[in-house]
Amino acid sequence: MTTSGPLLQVEGVSKDFFGTNVLSDINFNLEKGEILGLVGENGAGKSTLMNILFGMKVISSTGGYSGQILFEGKQTSFKNPLEALNSGIGMVHQEFSLIPGLTATENILLNSEPTRYNFLTELFGPRLSTLDRYEMQIRAIAAINKLGFRLDQDMLVSQMPVGHKQFTEISRELDRKNIKLLVLDEPTAVLTESEAQILLKSLKTLASDGIGIIIISHRLSEIMDITDKVVVLCDGKIIHTSKTSDTTVDKIAECMVGRSGVLESSKAHAQKEQAQKEIILKVENLWVDMPGEHIEDVSFDVIRGEIFGIGGLAGQGKLGIPNGIMGYFESGGNVYFSGKKCNLGNPREALDQEMAFVSEDRKGVGLLLDEPIDWNIVFTAMQTKDQFLKSYLWGLIKWRDSKAMSKVSKQYINELEIKCLNEWQHVRQLSGGNQQKICLAKAFVLDPKLLFVSEPTRGIDVGAKSIVLDTLRKINKQKGTTIIMVSSELEEMRGICDRIAIVDKGKIAGILPADSSSISFGKLMAGVGETL
Amino acid sequence: MTTKNLQLKKLLTLDNAAHLLMRNTVPILFILISAMAIPLSEFSFSYLSQELMTRLIRNSFLVLSLLIPIIAGMGLNFGMVLGAMAGQVGLIFVTDWNIVGMPGVFLAMIISTPLAILLGLICGIILNKASGKEMVTGFVLAFFAQGVYQLVVLYGMGAIIPIERLTLVLSRGYGIRNTVNLIGIRSSLDSAISFDLGPVPIPVVTLFIIALFCLFVVWFRKTKLGQDMKAIGQDMHVAEAAGIRVLRTRIISIIISTVLACWGQIIYLQNMGTLNTYNSHEQIGMFSIAALLVGGATVSKAQISHVFVGVILFHLMFIVSPMAGKNLIGSAMLGEYFRGFVTYGVISAALVVHAWTRFKTNQRQRQHLRGN
Amino acid sequence: MITHRMKLFQLGLVLTFIAIGSILFYVGKGHDLILENKLITIGPVTYKAAPSIKLIIDDQKAIPVNSGFANKAFVVGASHSLKAQILDDAGAVIKVIEKKFKLSLHNSFLISMPALVANDPKWIKEI
Amino acid sequence: MKHIQNFIIDFGWARIIIGLFLLSLFILAPVADVRIDTSISDTVARFGMACVLVLAMVPMIQSGCGLNFGLPLGIIAGLLGATCTMELELKGLIGLSFAMLITTVFGTIFGFFYGKLLNKVKGSEMMIATYVGFSSVAFMCMMWLLLPFKNPKMIWGYGGSGLRTTITVEGYWLHVLNNFLSFRVSESFVFPTGMILFVLFMCLLIWGFFHTKLGSALTAVGSNPDFAKASGVDIDKMRVISVILSTVLGGIGILVYQQSFGFIQLYMGPFYMAFPAVAAILIGGASINKATITNVIVGTFLFQGILTMTPSVMNSLIHTDMSEVIRIIVSNGMIIYAMTRVNKARQKK
């Protein structure tokens, strides 16, 4: 039943999470056999839109959404992803959801395997029917052929190269009986160039069979060459939608990144004149094996007293740089700190060289949630610099000096305006903003020469954001601490940093002064810009 | 086919040979121990084969019942002791009602199955709650159940639960005696149809039941439920994302294992002939798991071949070591202790190897992500 | 999602198992028989001890029950047959009494030789 | 009502039930004409005997290695210390302190290798600890037969080689701690001040340890290993230290137990000794990765209270000795209860 109307119509959809507006008045539609590119910075609302389409619980549990979605002309709102799957909408996530020990066939047909009836199913339910291996083989090959990619369906997923895994996952969606709409989230993120080309070609063949495709990607070059229509999301609003043929890479990049063209006035200090130009940190072909934030080969220099920004989209590896240098994850390459080569892989050595790191994973790495505030602030200094300890018996026993601990904690509680009952309150009970301030206080107590700060303003209220940024500026100005700030909030970094490096696919796409145009930043992020 | 010769080529590489050796160290070690101990123990071949045959038919069913939880990723099911207890309760009632022969054995199985299902359900729910620590929780659960079992059998039966035959009850009027003579059903399965192959009596019916169980395991791996369990055993979250009801399937795997352990215990006891009420189930968990591991199974992968190889090797060592110890150093006690040490040693070695290889495979998988 | 149809089948399974269980119970039930050859009074009549008897139950080995003594036998199942060979002092068989009898599910029974010889209907009773 | 609610959630249903159960036993005692002073004297004595063994659990729980089911390894170090000292015929307080010295040496060696092993199997420590404990006890059974001990009080009577299963410490250091400064409270209740003082001193020592730099680092490793690693703490080193501490404490604990109990139990003696200690600290309120000294003291008192009271009160009330069954159900039930709460805590984060 091929209805003449568009396959998917999104009309006036908007959504807010506890008051903050995430999506407002989204309108677009998708024809059968058409490929739509959905582009936007992190936090622009792409994933929320997809959650709405798939009826994820996170949407219904936070008050649902307004506006309506028509699928094949019918008003629909799916209560859970399975319903969406059954009505023909497939989704391929960024991180693989494959079972390593099973073959490609078994993965493609996971939980929808064809079975042969036997009597026991009457008694104990359908799951006692035996698998029809022959039929499974046929369906798997059919799904793989739809993709036009030669994939051995009997190979174990654990032995497959990364590209094959991606194709296995896509063919799992294609195996669904009445697949009409396929959504892919960053499909080429893990593929090599050649594999990416093959994937794009096979997506074209799928489209020609009448399947609607939505690709969420930031690789503008791929978007340009394969999609029929482009929708650019920024801060929850569609600010640019047109046929791909009518628009250019520069236009998309500019809409993707630029909020207000003008820079925030708060960037008071003019371009600091780097007279002394002494390099405090030199990094050469650094690789870091951090899950989800993999770094291939990164080299850059940081000047003493500078605030050096590192930007880039999620999953491209920017967070890997500080984690690698500080030794949280396996890393290699040469890193020189004020001239001296430091060996990587041990956080203690990095700390001993007066480097400090405020991690992006506050709850996981940054804090002891079940310990009091003074503990959290003082702990690293205590362990690495033997501060806040009274030593007895000629240093044989180093006893915690609770008076000194509470004195320094009180000092930072006032300075950073941390809202808490007292310094013995357990950190678990504090708000996100206050927890972030404690992580900062922990780093400041170390009085480092070089301070890594990772996603300092993520998930905290606006008031706390400005305090955090102002304190970083103050520390940099008064004590001359060099700060390397890793963040996905490009605007904030342009307001505070001197230079910003953009990381894409595990490499440095380019380093630009903070006041360069947002288009150039957007293009670097989208992997099309030319490096400085 | 490409994958076939790929696997073949992979087999010959040195790294894989070391890996293969590493995986089968335990069976190889046991063959060595037995090879040394047999001559020392001066047992005759016919005695050994007779003894091995009885142990094989006595223990294989119990060891086989451990396979299904391993497929479902629950590790070694120390909670099988709960199934053994259910089986023993069934036997106590059958002996009380004085039902003899094969009808007695099968009736014991029928009346103890509902109890085993209930215990399996409770065990499954608790293991789900302690996911990540299934094995140690199952282990402690077996001790806890031991307490409840004693409460029911030592104090309940006779007082609350009516027991007619006074020969079963303790002198104080309630609670079952320490040893119950199962004369009525003694080896009724084994000697139903049996012929002698040389010195060794072959019990056809029991072997038939064990063969039936092996077919069930093979068939079960082919069913959708078996495939779901395999998926869950590999990666719970991906299975959940694919819509498989993970917790429910894990409970089913524990229930099946508990019921099979219950039947296995009944087969074990009808072969033994006497039931020592308060500790025969305790050793069962330990020896069955040790036997399975001796066969070369690991905490996450087990085949039917591991079961039989394991039972033979383990019990061979079990029979031979006391005598070997006596002849070697002149004290049978040393052989006994050596046997105990090897049992626990093999289980700890297998657990350490499993935890260590899991740590290693994660590292090896991430190897290709490393830079040059 | 146990459908209605499955509930029926499962109920059927449970019923068949109960049926099999009771059949097994019935077939496998063992009974202890006490064979007594002593003075016994059944209701108004008293019988004195009969001469020594050789008792063959089903096709078990013959069990001697001498006058004034008792013996035990074990049988399985409900329906049985017995052959009593009454012996004279020299041990020769004078008379043979054959009987078929059905046992209830009770565990132990008393068979009185004198009552059997005298063909009294209550020659067997539950104890 | 809210306050009570928090108390229940925090203290946990199981502990409340056990606490009330013990309370009811104490109330019923006079009704069952059980002498109160003998019960209390028993409870205090058993408290002293078991407290150090329960204290041995704290270091490993704090450092995140979980419950130390491998306590028998520490106990074996203690047994070796005791038997070697008896071999050298050292008596009295000097003997006991020398035994403690040897135990510390053995405990450190065993603890070091045991700690290294546990570091290799992060995530499944408890299961492997259990079986390391069992295999070491089984191994020692062989060693007790083979080790060249000569002291006639220890080896089998008819001159055979190998040690007896139970060796009396009579004449060596029997009640050497108990009688130190002990005073008589009532006709049948002698307060073992020496032992109680020693035990409280050990608790003070461990309490102090957790106030030092090393102790705080160890606690941090337990509550959030990533945080500790990020703060420059060598996680594996801390875990090994905690295991060594736990093993040595286990050894000292068994020495204190022996001097009051009067016998050294060899061969399969220490096989199941880990479970009562684990149950006691959990009853005291400890969780799988957090334990304090108060948990130790409260837990030991509650658990030993139940062990002493149930036989006497139960016997006189319903004339059956159910104490063995109750001990099994209470201690193992408590461990399972703690295991199932681990996920709840993780979900809360």
A130 and B CB contact within 8 Å: yes
Q: Do chains C and D touch (3 or more CB pairs under 8 A)?
A: no
Which residues of chain C are within 8 Å of residue A122 when distances are taken between CB atoms?
5-6, 9
**pLDDT greater than 70 at residue D347:** no
For residue A97, give every residue at least 6 positions away whose Cβ sits within 8 Å of its Cβ, in sequence order, or none: A169, B237, B238, B241, B242
Number of neighbours of residue C4 by Cβ within 10 angstroms: 6
Whether the per-residue pLDDT at A269 is higher than 60: the answer is: no
| Interface residue A114 vs chain B (CB under 8 A) | no
Reported as a single tens digit per residue, the pLDDT across C98-116 is 888 888 888 888 888 888 8
Q: Is the dihedral of CA B319, B321, B322, B328 positive or negative?
A: positive
Q: Who's near A455: CB < 8 A, 6+ residues apart? A: A319, A360, A486, A487, A488
By DSSP bridging, strand A340-342 and strand A331-337 are: antiparallel
DSSP state of C49: P
Q: Which pair of structure tokens corresponds to residue A6? A: 């568009």
Chain D, residues 207-236, CB within 8 A of chain A, namely 211-214, 216-217, 219-220, 223-224, 226-227, 229-234
Taking contacts as CB-CB distances below 8 angstroms, the residues of chain A near B239 are: 99, 110-111
Of D141, D275, D329, the CB nearest to B148: D329
On the question of pLDDT at A178 being above 80, the answer is: no
For B227, the closest of A131, A155, A159 (CB atoms) is A131
Residue ranges per structural domain of chain B: 54-294
Q: Mean pLDDT of all residues in chain A?
A: 83
Where is average pLDDT lowest: A226-230, A243-247, D192-196, D318-322?
D318-322
- List C-alpha distances in Å: C67 to A105, C46, C85: 83, 16, 13
Confidence tier at A461 by pLDDT (50, 70, 90): confident
The residue length of chain B stands at: 372
Report whether CATH 1.10.1740.10 matches the domain A261-354+449-456+482-532. no
Task: Let me know: does A309 contact A422? Beta carbons within 8 Å.
Answer: no
Domain-by-domain residue ranges, chain D?
A: 15-24+31-339
Q: What is the mean pLDDT of residues D315-332?
A: 83
Strand partners, A311: A502
What DSSP character marks residue C50?
P
Per-residue CA distances from A298 to A324, A455, B300 (Å): 11, 20, 40
D15-24+31-339 in CATH: which number? Answer: 1.10.3470
On the question of pLDDT at A283 being above 80, the answer is: yes
End-to-end CA distance of chain B: 32
**Contact check, Cβ <8 Å, C24/B106:** yes
- In the predicted model, what is the mean pLDDT of residues D187-203? 88
More confident residue, A109 or A258: A109
Mark yes or no for CB contact A328/D231 under 8 Å: no
CATH number for the A1-88+178-257 domain, one of 3.50.50.60, 3.30.70.270, 3.40.50.300, 3.10.20.340? 3.40.50.300
Contact predicate D259/D250, CB 8 Å: no
The per-residue pLDDT for B10 is: 58
Query: Measuring CA to CA, how many Å separate D61 from each of A288, B236, D215, D245?
Result: 33, 28, 12, 12
Are A122 and C6 in contact (CB < 8 Å)? yes
Residues of chain A with CATH 3.40.50.300: 1-88+178-257, 261-354+449-456+482-532
Asked if the Cβ–Cβ distance from D232 to A348 is below 8 Å, we say: yes
Bridge-based pairing of strands B194-197 and B200-203 is: antiparallel
Q: Between B231, B369, B372, which is nearest A102 by CB?
A: B231
Q: Are D115 and D244 in contact (CB under 8 A)?
A: yes
Instruction: Say what percent of chain D tops pLDDT 70.
Output: 95
Contact residues for A240 (Cβ-Cβ < 8 A; gap 6+): A230, A231, A232, A247, A251, A252, A255
Determine whether the interchain pair A99/B235 forms a contact, defined as Cβ–Cβ distance below 8 Å. yes
Task: Tokens for C124, please give them.
Answer: 């067997």
What's the pLDDT score for residue B220?
92
β-strand A8-17 against A20-30: which pairing, if any? antiparallel
Per DSSP, the residues of A46-93 read HHHHHHHHHT-HHHHTTT--EEEEEETTEE---SSHHHHHHTTEEEE-
Between CA A316 and CA A502 the distance in angstroms is: 10
Q: Which residues of chain B are under the pLDDT cut of 50?
A: 1, 371-372
DSSP SS3 for A15 = strand
List pLDDT tens digits, range A110-125.
888 888 888 888 888 8
Three-class SS of A362-392: HHHHHCCCCCEHHHHHHHHHHHHHCCCEEEE
The closest alpha carbon to A525, from A507, A502, A499, belongs to A502
H-run or E-run covering B359: helix B332-367
pLDDT of B5: 58
* Strand runs labelled E in A384-423: 389-392, 397-400
pLDDT at A79: 77
pLDDT of residue B6: 60
B94, B95, B110, B183: best mutation site toward chain C, by most C Cβ within 10 Å? B110
Q: Given this model, what pLDDT does residue A260 score?
A: 41
**pLDDT at residue A313 is higher than 90:** no
Which residues of C make CB contacts under 8 Å with A?
1-2, 5-6, 9-10, 13
- What ipTM is given for this predicted complex? 0.84
Mean pLDDT of A14-39: 83
- What single string gives the DSSP state of each residue in A340-357? EEE-SS-HHHHHHTTEEE
Give phi and psi for A109, each to the nearest 5. Answer: -100, 20
Please name the member of D127, D322, D327 whose beta carbon is closest to the beta carbon of B135: D127
Contact B225 A115 (CB under 8 A): no
Question: Which residues are bridge partners to C55 per DSSP?
Answer: C63, C84
Taking CB atoms and an 8 Å limit, are B219 and A130 in contact across chains?
A: yes
Chains that touch C (3 or more CB pairs under 8 A): A, B
* pLDDT value at residue D150: 82
User: Domains in chain C, start-ordered, CATH in brackets?
Assistant: 30-126 (2.60.40)
State the amino acid at position A209 in one-letter form: D
Q: For A64-97, how does the pLDDT look when each residue is reduced to its tens digit (9 = 90+)?
A: 788 888 888 888 878 777 788 788 888 887 777 8
Tell me the pTM.
0.87
CA–CA separation, A219 vs A39, rounded Å?
9
Q: What's the pLDDT at B4?
A: 58
Work out the minimum CA distance from A341 to partner chain D, whole angstroms.
19
Contact D86, D168 (CB under 8 A): no
Task: Write the CA distances from A89 to A30, A214, B296, D44, integer angstroms.
Answer: 13, 11, 45, 70
Count CB pairs under 8 A between chains A and D: 71
Residue A268 pLDDT: 41
Distance between CA atoms of B317 and B313, rounded to whole angstroms? 6
Mutate to test the interface with D, among A325, A348, A383 (most CBs of D within 10 A): A383
Residue written as token pair 């294609």? A174
